[in-house]
């Protein structure tokens, strides 16, 4: 892991850009984090396009830092400055065409779009997690928050170092993700935007139902995809504090 830039934000949070092999990412550590008081870590998922997502990511990271958590994000394969995959671009084009024609989106398109992303992104998150946890100022436990829900589900199943997860019920869930959901056992906090046009509400409720976790909470709010109310940021922080401190 190579740090490529470093700046101290006005609230004392240290922001460092890094690369791990071909994976670019950002790490935020609270002023309080040190080798003698290592901070728990939140992995911040997003839909891809780290630069565009930066304002929201840094907001979530600063909120996490208030509770003493470090936070990290990485660019998704095929997004931002990372090389495009011809197959993913084709799937994205097919998806766009179906949506513009007002058609329902074939499972087959969803599989082509999301599954290769899951296959690539999950080991990348795990490699980054190895590197982050080797830093003296970062300790466990580890939480995951947000982003492409199929990635969050797979991580929750295969990565035992993740103790709790916040998932955004989003559109386009591959069928296999429903099966994997039954194997998830960590505490979950699931956010659903009730009127999200790009979202299949029933699929989101079915996925929530499928999770095997004994503690799972669904928070549904009005409004579209980006309209999550501000008070949910506080509710998410309390969920993480309950499980990671």
Binding site for its own copies (CB under 8 A): 194, 205, 208-209, 213-222, 229, 231, 234-235, 238, 242
Minimum CB separation from its own copies for residue 232, in Å? 8
Cβ at position 236, least distance to its own copies in Å: 12
Cβ proximity to its own copies, 107 vs 234, nearer residue: 234
| Minimal distance, residue 54 CB to its own copies, in Å | 28
Structure token digits, residue 62: 């600063």
- Minimum CB separation of residue 146 from its own copies in Å reads 18
Q: Which is nearer to its own copies, 154 or 189 (CB)?
A: 189
- Cβ(143)–Cβ(244) below 8 Å: yes
User: What is the rounded CA–CA span in Å between residue 190 and residue 208?
Assistant: 7
* For its own copies, the closer CB: 155 or 190: 190
3-state helix, strand, coil in the chain (%, to 5): 40, 25, 35
Query: For residues 120 and 219, which CB has a smaller minimum distance to its own copies in the complex?
Result: 219
Distance CA 63, CA 143 (A): 14
* Pairing label, strands 39-45, 70-74: parallel
Q: How far apart are CA 124 and CA 25, in angstroms?
A: 11
CB burial of residue 66 (10 Å; 0-12, 13-18, 19+): exposed
123 or 229, CB closer to its own copies? 229
Q: Tell me how far, at minimum, the Cβ of 182 lies from its own copies, in Å.
A: 14
Smallest gap, in angstroms, from Cβ of residue 218 to its own copies?
4
CA distance 168 to 111: 19
Pairwise CA distance, residues 238 & 56, whole Å = 19
Closer residue to its own copies, CB minimum distance, 163 or 217: 217
């Amino acid at each position: 892991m190579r740090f490529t830039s470093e700046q101290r934000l006005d609230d004392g949070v240290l922001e460092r850009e890094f690369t791990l092999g071909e994976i670019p990412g950002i790490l935020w550590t609270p002023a309080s984090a040190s080798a003698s008081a290592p901070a728990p870590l939140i992995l911040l998922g997003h839909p891809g396009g780290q630069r565009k997502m930066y304002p929201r990511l840094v907001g979530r990271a600063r909120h996490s830092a208030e509770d003493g958590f470090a936070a990290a994000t990485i660019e998704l394969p095929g997004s931002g400055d990372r090389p495009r995959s011809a197959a993913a671009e084709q799937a994205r084009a097919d998806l766009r065409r179906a949506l513009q024609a007002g058609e329902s989106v074939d499972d087959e398109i969803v599989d082509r779009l999301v599954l290769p992303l899951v296959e690539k992104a999950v080991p990348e998150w795990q490699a980054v997690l190895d590197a982050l946890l080797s830093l003296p100022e970062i300790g466990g436990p580890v939480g995951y928050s947000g982003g492409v829900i199929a990635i969050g589900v797979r991580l929750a199943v295969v990565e035992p170092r993740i103790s709790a997860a916040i998932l955004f019920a989003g559109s386009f869930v591959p069928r296999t993700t429903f099966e994997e959901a039954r194997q998830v056992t960590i505490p979950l906090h699931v956010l659903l935007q009730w009127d999200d046009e790009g979202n299949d509400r029933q699929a989101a409720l079915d996925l929530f139902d499928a999770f095997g976790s004994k503690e799972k909470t669904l928070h549904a709010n009005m409004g579209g995809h980006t309209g999550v109310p501000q008070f949910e940021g506080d509710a998410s922080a309390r969920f993480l504090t309950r499980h990671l401190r």
